[in-house]
Amino acid sequence: MARANILDWTEAQVQLKLDEHRVVKYQVYRDGEKHFLEVCDAHEAPIHTLELPDGMKLDRSSYEVLLRYVLLDVVAA
């Protein structure tokens, strides 16, 4: 099975702390049987790709909540 987009590149401003935010682009895609959330910065430099658990189907606002947690984890590392 080939790669298929579930959610095309979307720009989001993610609140990290009270006065701190980050502008990123993200997409959700399926590659074979696996689903991925791919995150890039505003200049399209890769930040992180997260494999989503099997059967995880979310709406756009849920992906943005997940995106915030991914960014907090990556920034903290």
Compute the mean pLDDT over every residue in the chain, rounded to the nearest whole number.
82
**Residue 77: both structure tokens together:** 């590392």
- Which has more pLDDT, 39 or 15? 39
**What is the reported pLDDT for 38?**
92
**What is the reported pLDDT for 45?**
93
Q: How far apart are CA 9 and CA 27, in angstroms?
A: 5
pLDDT digits (tens, 9 = 90+) for 57-69: 676 777 777 877 7
Q: How far apart are CA 73 and CA 64, in angstroms?
A: 14
The CA R_g of the chain, rounded to the nearest whole Å, is 12
pLDDT digits (tens, 9 = 90+) for 1-11: 688 898 899 89
Instruction: Look at strands 3-17 and 46-52 and give their pairing.
Output: unpaired
